[in-house]
Amino acid sequence: MMTLEESYKLLQVSHNASDAEITKAFKKLAFMYHPDKNPGNIDWANKAMASINVAYNTIITHRFKENTVEIQNDKPPKKETTFKKDDILRDDLLTQYFIQYREKAKDALYQYFQYNLYNLARRDSPVNSDIFRKIVLQLRRSYHGIDNLCSYTNDHEFLQHFNLFKELLFTFYKSSECLNIIDSYANILDVEAFRIYRQGDDFLLRAQKEIFYNRHNRGSFQMEQAITDLIKSIQILQLAINRFPQSSWIVESQIKLDHALTIEHYLKLFFER
């Protein structure tokens, strides 16, 4: 594991750097450490790439989960401010507040697929990067809002739903930051690792689009197909991890797998009766 301090140091950025600066620093180092730039030391380059991937994900994880002033100043659900931290809310109020946060998060997820922001090149445009920033902000607000609700109940069923939805938002965000385009075909093993990773990611994308976007447009849910795509994604991503543990794509493969497994749990808990 890499500490937050070590991660900032490895990416050569300060704690006060903006998200855009963090991403820029990551891309700069990725270009320097890429195996193509170090043909005489491929193994070292792959390990270096894996390290900066871990550092980058450590930082974005911390920033997503950090309860910043920007998040704290967000308007809470109506009447929530009338309760103290140690109070227990009635079930109907917990449900009402959770639905508000959930629907705002679902709207943000819908926008993500509406604007095809899984396409990293498309996301880089000024307009789309601003849309993505607002989507992430809303996901963080919903995450922390639901996290706050956990303080108001001891009910196992509520906590199970709250914590799983929080995990869904978190793993979605981490997954959305993963690379999905290869920029070199020099290392045959890395190319094969990417090919399998991308295949698993494509099935994951199909499942997500059905769950968070297509079903809302269509008015019906093709759940069986979504589950089939999700299972294929899980199997393929697990294959990528098992077959290429030293690949520079191992970090992305694990992040995508974690998200796919979380979606699987989400469907079972929220949709199965």
What class has domain 1-66?
A: mainly alpha
> 146 near 162, Cβ under 8 Å?
yes
Cα–Cα distances in Å, from 191 out to 48, 72, 200, 246, 253? 17, 44, 14, 12, 13
Higher pLDDT, 175 or 31: 175
SS3 category, 182: coil
**pLDDT tens per residue across span 121-152:** 899 899 999 999 999 999 999 999 999 999 88
Mean pLDDT, residues 213-219 taken together: 97
**Which of 41-45, 77-81, 162-166 has the least mean pLDDT?**
77-81
Average pLDDT value for the chain: 89
Right CATH for 179-273 from 1.20.58, 1.10.3470, 1.10.10, 1.10.530: 1.20.58
pLDDT band at 75 (very low <50, low <70, confident <90, very high): low
**pLDDT tens per residue across span 223-242:** 999 999 999 999 999 999 99
Domain ranges of the chain: 1-66, 69-172, 179-273
Instruction: Give residue 80's pLDDT.
Output: 45
**pLDDT tens per residue across span 153-211:** 999 999 999 999 999 999 999 999 988 877 677 778 889 999 999 999 999 999 999 99
Instruction: Give residue 79's pLDDT.
Output: 43
